[in-house]
A and B are shown apart, each in its own frame.
Chain A
């Protein structure tokens, strides 16, 4: 694998169409599209108004008059001109890679990708809100909420892959967590017990993945697929056998816990500190795992097992045990992510309700270069795209909802193509360990 990667990366500069240039073409297409939309579909006079949530009167009174009215009625932004601006900016970023030498363009690729996505999301929002008023704060808060399962899934993936086990079964672990967790909370009439069962179910599926891929040395992608298929079967069977008609009423979802003092901060408060418990858990876990992996000796051992298991083994680390622990811990987190779907968000369970979030989580993981905080930002990107999609459906833009719904998936593909190759997976990722 390593040799293939190096030959590939040395071969690229000799081609005319470098990665940056391919992306330039994509940006050009988006730019042309935006300019065309702005010129044809939008009224030059139209404005989009943005509000920033409820702001306390005591703070409001101290602000200047103009700002006050702006905040109350929404800040007006001229729709057509700002769309045009974004479109032209995109056209410029599309042309630049063809003018710069490839090495220079390559250096700024990631940054440009992030910027372009920010601009695109803004443009879509402006377009959708033309002649209407929309609240930015609620959208940002939604973005963080919707990023939760993706971030948790990415964390689960990071734990596994930092120990050298590719885990493509996160989707299945989430699904089983969601299904069994919900069933338990229904039959025990206790949503905390449901959460525990969700986590245990995730761990159990992960244990199966561990046995298959670590002990039996089954190809890890196949093993993950087995997990995914098994999860569909188990949850479908559970749903039809125990959930379709049951004597209980549906349990209520976890209620939001506003954090005292912090939740009163304008803008930031509602975005960050008025969430449900699993969202907070996710935020904490991101930092805990970042600290664990890079600042503790156990984390160092964990990473050693994924980078060079033979060396780790020589130094007395039990590679097999470390991998088992990592995969099962990842399963627990994936189970928690599953609980987010059924116990925290919807309050019911549907077949395939995870909707590919487990796979998107893997893209977020790769985006973050197998780094918890990086992956969190990747997850935020997808979370915001998701929130935007919901917003657009509410705003009735005339864009078919199917296309809006595609947004996160297209985003995943672009991110994957744009980011991979410059990231470095753990060296022993996907390679079973044979003790000598």
Chain B
């Protein structure tokens, strides 16, 4: 591992950080405060070079762009968008392919940033509101990846090869991108489940258990009722998954609302109970007698989610997840139910004083979380595997918390957060192959991402940022209330 490459790598990241901090400052500044030039002019200065390079960077991929069938067209557009966003947001990866050009582009852009600070801002970069959130999170992810970089170095592997593998495993070509979207689908739903909890002041660690129960319900309903038409059987199966997860989520909600038993411990206990119950049911009650390993019978054709991109495993569950994002956003921000839940999340006392039923909203939020996680589990069964094996560990319970934290509980932001998470998981495989480093490294990197997102002060301290008007998530209200 040559030292020059290491220096180039770090230099590029610092330059990128200057660029994005200056950009953030520009975006959050009042137009009247910009003394020299206009905001539009500065924006052009900031974005011109990276955007042009990003487009050039994508030309080799254009050969894979498919126009027909429509599913493939939409998929190709998504893929291009993701590659482009990764160039602007995560230079740790993209720069690795084209190091000298990359450094040059970021150097020029950072120069624009420095010029901006000298001519206009002359202060610590000050970033307001959600722009601050986005930039802090981007910097957090990059910082975590830098730590991972040094960890790889310590274990004696080649970090450049490892991160190239990681990047290509994420969005290197269409097949891998499809797998990333497949991996992202349950994270979207479970991240939403945790986010709804956060908004209601609850910490739902039980997404994993609700996931299993949903998967079990879908496996059972999907493999029985032979002869039902797809239009009835598929909704029935999805509904069973939602119901199963919903009940599993509502139980700790009820225990919290009625007895004040803390949901963190109860949801974890429900996870263990779910794993064991499902294990029993798969091995003893619903086992496929013709199969050699312990699993449920195959889901019938009429209950299977169709594939929407040719030559991939990408099923319609992806669109269900997107729809769920829209529904949850609408529910939480545009309806009385959502308003009540968010009020309960802000203050139990105030909401009770306003005549809202705190307990009812707690149960509701947990049940909605369960419905979403159950949907995720059901989708995995009827979209991907076609059956539920006994030793089915998703391990995505903690990941879903991470996604919700990363998205700051914003339903829309869940999408990029889940994409990043699914991508890291999916790319870890190729990273392991390319650099011979254990894929567990990604767990550590991800833990650092959450660490920096949970404690944005660290990132802001490192990058000398000042962020104004950002709320911190608060979920702990002691054990009793």
List A contacts of B458 (CB < 8 A).
Answer: 216
Would you give the shortest CB distance from A372 to chain B, in whole angstroms?
17
Q: Which of A176-212 contact B (CB under 8 A)?
A: 212
Cβ-defined contact, A226 with B280, below 8 A: no
Cβ-defined contact, B443 with A232, below 8 A: yes
A307, CB-defined interface residue at 8 Å: no
B331, CB-defined interface residue at 8 Å: no
A8-B481 contact, Cβ under 8 Å, with A219-B475, A412-B265, A430-B476: yes
Cβ-defined contact, A409 with B348, below 8 A: no
Closest chain A residue, CB of each to CB of B447: A230
Cα distance A166–B475 in the bound complex, in angstroms: 12
Q: Main SS of the interface on chain A?
A: helix
List B contacts of A60 (CB < 8 A).
Answer: none
A425-B480 contact, Cβ under 8 Å, with A218-B454, A226-B454, A356-B268: yes
B272, CB-defined interface residue at 8 Å: yes
List B contacts of A236 (CB < 8 A).
Answer: 438, 440, 443
**Contacting B348 at CB < 8 Å: which of A4, A216, A417, A430?**
A4
Q: Which of B423-481 contact A (CB under 8 A)?
A: 438, 440-448, 450-451, 454-455, 457-458, 472-481
List A contacts of B476 (CB < 8 A).
Answer: 166, 219-221, 430
**Contacting A219 at CB < 8 Å: which of B269, B438, B454?**
B454
A229, CB-defined interface residue at 8 Å: yes
Cα distance A22–B457 in the bound complex, in angstroms: 46
Cα distance A222–B405 in the bound complex, in angstroms: 9
Cα distance A239–B438 in the bound complex, in angstroms: 10
Q: Contact mask A88-102 → B, CB, 8 Å, 1/0?
A: 000000000000000
B100, CB-defined interface residue at 8 Å: no
Would you give the shortest CB distance from A109 to chain B, in whole angstroms?
11
B5, CB-defined interface residue at 8 Å: no
Closest chain B residue, CB of each to CB of A230: B447
Closest chain A residue, CB of each to CB of B448: A230
Cβ-defined contact, A420 with B277, below 8 A: no
Would you give the shortest CB distance from A424 to chain B, in whole angstroms?
8
Cβ-defined contact, A1 with B269, below 8 A: no
Cβ-defined contact, B477 with A233, below 8 A: no
**Contacting A429 at CB < 8 Å: which of B255, B261, B478?**
B478
Would you give the shortest CB distance from B204 to chain A, in whole angstroms?
11
Cβ-defined contact, A363 with B446, below 8 A: no
Cα distance A3–B212 in the bound complex, in angstroms: 37
Q: Contact mask B407-423 → A, CB, 8 Å, 1/0?
A: 00000000000000000
B284, CB-defined interface residue at 8 Å: yes
Cβ-defined contact, A234 with B260, below 8 A: no
Cα distance A356–B440 in the bound complex, in angstroms: 20
List A contacts of B269 (CB < 8 A).
Answer: 356, 359, 409-410, 412-413
Q: Contact mask A223-254 → B, CB, 8 Å, 1/0?
A: 10110111011101101110000000000000
Q: Contact mask A387-422 → B, CB, 8 Å, 1/0?
A: 000000000000010110110011011001110110
List B contacts of A3 (CB < 8 A).
Answer: 349
Interface range on chain B: under 10, 10 to 19, 20 to 34, or 35 or more? 35 or more
Cβ-defined contact, B260 with A402, below 8 A: no
Would you give the shortest CB distance from B241 to chain A, in whole angstroms?
21
Cβ-defined contact, B473 with A219, below 8 A: yes
List B contacts of A1 (CB < 8 A).
Answer: 477-478, 480-481
A5, CB-defined interface residue at 8 Å: yes
**Contacting A237 at CB < 8 Å: which of B270, B440, B477?**
B440
Closest chain B residue, CB of each to CB of A15: B258
Cα distance A403–B274 in the bound complex, in angstroms: 11
Cβ-defined contact, A402 with B268, below 8 A: no
List A contacts of B277 (CB < 8 A).
Answer: 402, 406
B264, CB-defined interface residue at 8 Å: yes
Would you give the shortest CB distance from B171 to chain A, in whole angstroms?
23
A19, CB-defined interface residue at 8 Å: yes
B401, CB-defined interface residue at 8 Å: yes
List B contacts of A217 (CB < 8 A).
Answer: 472
Cβ-defined contact, A237 with B438, below 8 A: yes
B266, CB-defined interface residue at 8 Å: yes
Q: Which of A356-375 contact B (CB under 8 A)?
A: 356, 359, 362-363, 366
A223-B454 contact, Cβ under 8 Å, with A356-B268, A405-B276, A425-B480: yes
Closest chain A residue, CB of each to CB of B475: A221
List A contacts of B259 (CB < 8 A).
Answer: 19, 22, 416-418, 420-421
Cα distance A118–B262 in the bound complex, in angstroms: 24
A84, CB-defined interface residue at 8 Å: no
Cβ-defined contact, B155 with A241, below 8 A: yes
Cβ-defined contact, B443 with A237, below 8 A: yes
**Contacting B444 at CB < 8 Å: which of A19, A233, A363, A402?**
A233
Cβ-defined contact, B203 with A416, below 8 A: no
**Contacting B451 at CB < 8 Å: which of A5, A221, A230, A237?**
A230
Q: Contact mask A344-387 → B, CB, 8 Å, 1/0?
A: 00000000000010010011001000000000000000000000
B273, CB-defined interface residue at 8 Å: yes
Would you give the shortest CB distance from B148 to chain A, in whole angstroms?
10
Would you give the shortest CB distance from A136 to chain B, in whole angstroms?
27
Q: Contact mask A161-179 → B, CB, 8 Å, 1/0?
A: 0000010100000000000
A425-B352 contact, Cβ under 8 Å, with A226-B451, A237-B441, A405-B276: no
The residue among B273, B401, B455, B473 with the most chain A CB atoms within 10 A of its own CB is B455
Would you give the shortest CB distance from B196 to chain A, in whole angstroms?
16
List A contacts of B265 (CB < 8 A).
Answer: 359, 362-363, 412-413, 416
**Contacting B455 at CB < 8 Å: which of A5, A212, A363?**
A212
Closest chain B residue, CB of each to CB of A168: B264
Cβ-defined contact, A212 with B454, below 8 A: yes
**Contacting A222 at CB < 8 Å: which of B255, B276, B454, B477?**
B454
Q: Contact mask A269-305 → B, CB, 8 Å, 1/0?
A: 0000000000000000000000000000000000000
List B contacts of A22 (CB < 8 A).
Answer: 258-259
Cα distance A166–B472 in the bound complex, in angstroms: 17
B402, CB-defined interface residue at 8 Å: yes
B279, CB-defined interface residue at 8 Å: yes
**Contacting A226 at CB < 8 Å: which of B441, B450, B475, B480?**
B450
**Contacting B272 at CB < 8 Å: which of A356, A366, A400?**
A356
Q: Contact mask B285-317 → A, CB, 8 Å, 1/0?
A: 000000000000000000000000000000000
Closest chain A residue, CB of each to CB of B276: A402
B329, CB-defined interface residue at 8 Å: no
Would you give the shortest CB distance from A135 to chain B, in whole angstroms?
27
B398, CB-defined interface residue at 8 Å: yes
Closest chain B residue, CB of each to CB of A426: B478
A219-B472 contact, Cβ under 8 Å, with A229-B402, A237-B440, A402-B277: yes
A residues contacting B by CB (< 8 A) are 1, 3-5, 7-8, 19, 22, 166, 168, 212, 216-223, 225-226, 228-230, 232-234, 236-237, 239-241, 356, 359, 362-363, 366, 400, 402-403, 405-406, 409-410, 412-413, 416-418, 420-421, 423-425, 429-431
For this complex, 20 residue pairs linking A to B, each with C-beta atoms less than 8 Å apart, are: A1-B478, A4-B348, A22-B258, A22-B259, A218-B455, A223-B454, A226-B450, A232-B447, A233-B441, A233-B442, A233-B443, A240-B438, A240-B440, A359-B265, A405-B276, A409-B269, A410-B273, A416-B266, A420-B479, A429-B478
Beyond contacts A222-B454, A430-B477, A430-B478: 11 other A-B pairs, Cβ-Cβ < 8 A, are: A4-B349, A168-B264, A225-B401, A226-B454, A229-B450, A237-B438, A366-B479, A417-B255, A420-B260, A420-B262, A423-B480
**Top 6 nearest A-B pairs by Cβ distance?**
A233-B443, A230-B447, A236-B440, A233-B444, A402-B280, A237-B440
